[in-house]
Structure 1
């Protein structure tokens, strides 16, 4: 495995695309797009930490993708899968860099679970303005499989890890990837949504007050629905992730708050929407996530 195809050139697309281009060479990394987006990506040069990115952008691959990375936002996944479908072959390995806990299931239903690995991109402080990305911490890319892997994906995991670990970014094989996914989901449900809904940077949830209280309560609701799904995210996990939030630049904005400022569609359906859906299925009350859902829907409606 030596070729990488990426769908999506947002923050994570630029971050990993640039890192992969630097280690593999620009001829080994291709961004897939079509129509107006293809023209825009070709015209707008991407930059990463002040360096121009040598990105190839095309609407056609000569053969099946080898490693296919989805780096879009949750609302755009369906369209991205339709775009990539003609280039998914029997040996294609698929990774989702999306937030939330449902994209692997969607990809598995569309392309077959035997092709899909699990991934969590966590800890980066990337800020995107247009096609320019800046960051001081590139974070960690966790790769893994469920403990019970019925689809013999071990060799595919090793191949993807061997390729991706060539990047100048941390890549880790995670033994309990579902726990890692739900921990990040809990974090996003809290900090991303509250900063977006309350219009505040990280500093707004680092100090005691209504915003922090809402963040912690939203995280606890996510933990509870996760437990019903069979993934136990503990209070110790919550404390550890709150410490991560408290160590971030208080003036910086999480991605969802950046989306609100840029009037981009948010991932509220993947966060509060998913918590609410699971809560209804299990007969649970999640008032904080319902409130955040209504606030964020109202913000989007008023653009």
Structure 2
């Protein structure tokens, strides 16, 4: 039974799920791990969700605590190495770890540090939250997909399902979690990247023909990569599925990568297009669109960073 939860990463994704779990389990049973600088910031200016201030239970990385039953990683990819060390004291023999990071590498990194038996494969999608400072606004809370690496049922899957049901967190346990993880990677490489380059909102990505066509062509390159990698079942139906998902989101909502570009923050381009290009070279699969988009995204990030300096 899951009674103690720890969360690291209190941005537009982690804040919503930490709030839902705190509301159900009690704020004293959900610990949000933050560094001293962030703790001071959140103490002076509380995190708000849709205008309501939330009193999370913050703990510092060095604090000795009772190990968590469930540890949720919700940072950005470039923060993961530090996050792994910061949450180490929250991991015990019976801790289950899920990563809600974008990309296809975080589970491997967590397994290397804490043991493969502790890690469930997971990601979140259909979440349209935007963050400005400590204010987070959203119209949909997204869906968490999770599953065992071998796609078998397990006691901890059922415990997670029970917890999320009671906490009012939407979830799915898919038939093949690796395929779904790659489908989300397909979205990250295409929609996130193109939105950041063009400054397109969710609605723009779904309705402007030139952007929509480029998204679909890029997704086809990712499907080719997945096939070469041995991922079974990622096909054109997933392109249609995610077109419908993004068309259903708030029109003026923005992808996380576009929000990062506009704020002058480091983007996850290295874990999207750059990573996909690396895989293309390793697998002998041509990825000309992905290669070009990765370079354009890097250039766009550099230009915006200069403007925000």
| TM bracket, shorter-chain basis | over 0.9
In structure 1, the partner of 2:250 is: 249
In structure 2, what is the equivalent of residue 48 of structure 1? 49
Matched, 1:116 2:95: no
Whether contact under 8 Å (1:42, 1:57) holds in the other structure is no
Q: 1:64 aligns with which of 67, 70, 82?
A: 67
Aligned to 2:3: 2
In structure 2, runs of 5+ residues without a counterpart are none
**Would you say the 8 A contact 2:164–2:170 is kept in 1?**
no
> Which of 59, 78, 82 is matched with 1:79 structurally?
82
- Alpha-carbon distance in structure 2 between the residues aligned to 1:275 and 1:7: 26
Structure 1 distance, partners of 2:160, 2:208, is 42
Say whether 1:270 aligns with 2:271: yes
> 1:145–1:175: 8 Å Cα contact kept in structure 2?
no
Paired positions, count = 300
Matched, 1:207 2:207: yes
Whether contact under 8 Å (1:21, 1:54) holds in the other structure is no
Q: Deviation per CA, 1:131-165, whole angstroms, max 9, x where unpaired?
A: 1112121121122113366xxx8222222222232
Aligned partner of 1:147 among 120, 125, 150: 150
Question: What secondary structure sits across from 1:11 in the alignment?
Answer: coil
Cα distance in 2 for residues equivalent to 1:62 and 1:247: 41
Of the structure 1 ranges 59-68 and 283-292, higher mean CA displacement relative to structure 2 is found in 59-68
In structure 2, how many angstroms separate the alpha carbons of the residues matched to 1:4 and 1:224?
38
Alignment root-mean-square deviation, CA? 1.7
1:143–1:161 CA contact under 8 A, matched in 2: no
Shift of 1:118: 1.3
Residue in structure 2 matched with residue 197 of structure 1 by the alignment: 197
CA apart distance, 1:208: 4.6
The answer for the alignment partner of 1:89 in structure 2 is: 92
Secondary structure at 2:124's aligned position in 1?
Answer: strand
Deviation of the 1:171 alpha carbon: 2.2
Give the equivalent residue in structure 1 for 2:290.
289
Gaps of 5+ in 1: none
Alignment of 1:96-175 (within 5 A): 96-147=99-150, 154-175=154-175
Query: CA shift at 1:43, angstroms?
Result: 2.9
Output the CA distance in 2 between the equivalents of 1:262 and 1:229. Answer: 35
Residue 37 of structure 2 corresponds to: 36
DSSP 3-state at the match of 1:174: coil
Shift of 1:37: 2.6
1:228 is displaced (CA, Å) by: 1.5
Length-normalised TM-score, structure 1: 0.93
CA–CA distance in structure 2, aligned partners of residues 243 and 125 of structure 1: 14
Residues 177-188 of structure 1: matches in 2 within 5 Å? 177-188=177-188
User: Is the CA contact 2:127–2:142 (under 8 Å) kept in the aligned structure 1?
Assistant: yes
